[in-house]
Structure 1
Amino acid sequence: MRSVCDRSLRVLLVAVLSGVLAVTALPAAAQDGAGDTSSESCSNRRLPPPPVDTSEQPPPGVASPEPLPVPQEPVGGERMGECGLVLPQGAPAPPEGLTAGSWMVQDLDSGAVLAAKNPHGRYRPASLVKILLALVTIQEFEPDDIITPTELDANQECTCVGIVAGGQYKVDDMLHGLLLRSGNDVAHAFATALGGMPVALGKMNELAARIGATDTRAASASGLDGPGMMTSAYDMSLVYNYAMHEPEFASAVGTQHIDFPGWGGAPDIPIYNDNRLLDDYPGFLGGKTGFTDDARHTYAGGAERDGRRIGVVLLRGEQRPTRLSAQAAELLDYGFELAATGPEPVGQLHFSPDKLTVPEETEQQDQDQVAEAGTAILPSDKDPFGVTGWIITLIAAIVSIGGVIFVHRRRQAEQ
């Protein structure tokens, strides 16, 4: 009788301990995203590749943001749902040596997708997300508006322009610092001026949703990795196309050099465009580069030749065997060659806001996810009791069971 009872209590204790381990692992499992768990064969259909460090871990007791919903029909056309190379019939092979996990070539004027690889695969944007921030800033401020950075703005993890807390800077100068130098200090200052980081992220994600970027969630204003950060080559092509139709943005990314104003008697700071193709590729219009350990190298850019404008986006690329900018140049050449043959587009960018209809339920879901990604302090809506509450409850259960076992054995010893 004693052995049976002890065995039952031990089994119960093991079950409870297993429950504790399962619950405490929930946030890590949600964040880990070790690959697409859906039945579809496309890699990274729901989540980017796993992070290599702790940059995307939410605070203790806070669940990671849920993956953005995957539309039932591929945005941009049926072929945009394909996973590997997506080429027109009879098209030549793309350049050898492309290292990007996902890329897209588009006609910047018509929005026609000329070729792609895994167009809706979800990856991290790195500093390409600054394009969204730039668009929000352009819509919210005038070029001559003045922004005064805070200490927190000026002391960001760099790359930095070198803004000074308490200084007064024109929005236009800061926009050039954001896009030419990829200044994280400027990105944070813009976010502060927009109402704080959660508000700024909300505006960036609302804009992404409004123009149809269904794979995109900004979790930081600068592109530094954070919980839930994601985009796709299709989405970034959409955002880049939209941005290149904004004169202020197009002018800024096409600028070679500015002298960023010093402050408090300090000399002006010379800033040069970090996009090498502005010097190396004839007809280059401008673009944006990016890098983080989790995103790897990212790139967006475009060029004009014989009256035709072609744009490219590359995500999760490497600098070897050739720099990603050089790979982008080869992909631009490929795009111009394709366009000259008049191929049937493999997809279409739907970047006009008046063409976008978002169901109210989906819109509210996106807003909830934006809030969760932006603040990183909200508990999961799906579990109001919270992970911490469950852990405390299970620990209490263990203590209770331990007490039962102790009393039971003591009574057996007294018999």
Structure 2
Amino acid sequence: MKIKKTKLFKIIIIISIGFILVGCWDKKELDTISIVTGVGIDAANDEDKIDLILQVGKINKSNSDSFRGESVTDDSIILATEDKGILSAIDKLQKQTTRDLFMHHNQVVIFGKEQTIKGIQPYIDALLRQHDMRMETLVFMAEGKAKDILRNTMEQEKISSLGITRMVEAANRYYESYSIRILDLTSMIIDKTTAPVIPIVKLQDNGEYSRLFLSGLAVLNDGKLIGELNETETRGYTWIMDKFKTTFIEVNIKEGFSNLDITNIKHKMKPEIRNGGELVISLEIIGDIIISEIQGFNNMTVKKVTDILVEEGKKTINKEIQACLNKSQELNADFLRFGVEFYKRFPKELEQIKNDWDSMYPEIKLSTNIKLNLIDTGKIVNSLNMKEGN
């Protein structure tokens, strides 16, 4: 009896493995799909419509005649159409190719600046509803048109959407300000006091060729563009939001020039409600300094130079933080998520004042405490122009 049960168990296992090896019911062969690597949404001539652009990677270059789109490189093609909604636009584009449009491997969603001014929230909602759209997909605003970004070729990457993704991955080794996914954007939209931000991708014409680069952040309100952060303000945002892993500071004063590497960065933010109802954010940032370059500082001792560099480093960080705060309060846009921080610590109090948040936000004070510790001067202590000794 025991032997029969053992044989029956083995038969069941073999049959189960057979079903698994047959494959999934909804699997698609590579020669039947068009893999979408980038999605662009531009404002259309018709006020009620959008231009939807899909960048499609070619799996087999010999099959390029399967498309009716604009061939960009040997590796990708652009499909574009005008419609009121995303799904209906995709349906139109499906008719331009003999293969199924496959969205699961899409890398980026890029909104043109004109469309971002008009509003992007309805299209984020549409993307969230698509079963084959990943929440990890990165979101950007193009300085011009999304189509120009997607149809541009890069020096090291033939498919621009993949190149942009790799630029963000490279930046993430140092800071994470440009890594905004659909999931992150949705979270910022849901937070009633938060103004969402998305990174800006620009196209720079250098004569013989053009190149793509990430530059600043776009600030949104009700899903519409209301302002942009420049490089200094974006660095301030990165400090306040604890998105730096490591960075460098450039010190350029009359005594000399230096580059300082900042490592082991620690961050602490504490919201306070002081007497009289004053809202204050206390921000503490601690980091270690490594001197990587020095020019000038003639006839100055090592002690004098290092003291100057530490103080100038603190001033630079404070300047970047203050520039960001000033822009945030000028736009009356809480993209720094101070409202979220206050709600975590003072939920009852914030519940009472959340309807007045827009009028209270510009009055919030930010108190900073920057501590930098010099841990390394490089292979040498003195520069060629500095005095010996301490």
Task: Compare the two structures and name the one with the higher strand fraction.
Answer: 2
* TM beyond 0.5: no
Where on the TM-score scale, by shorter chain, does this alignment land: which range?
under 0.3
What TM-score comes out, normalization by structure 1 length? 0.21
Structure having the higher Rg = 2
Structure 2 length normalisation: TM-score?
A: 0.22
Larger relative contact order (C-alpha < 8 A, sep ≥ 6)? 1
Greater helix content: 1
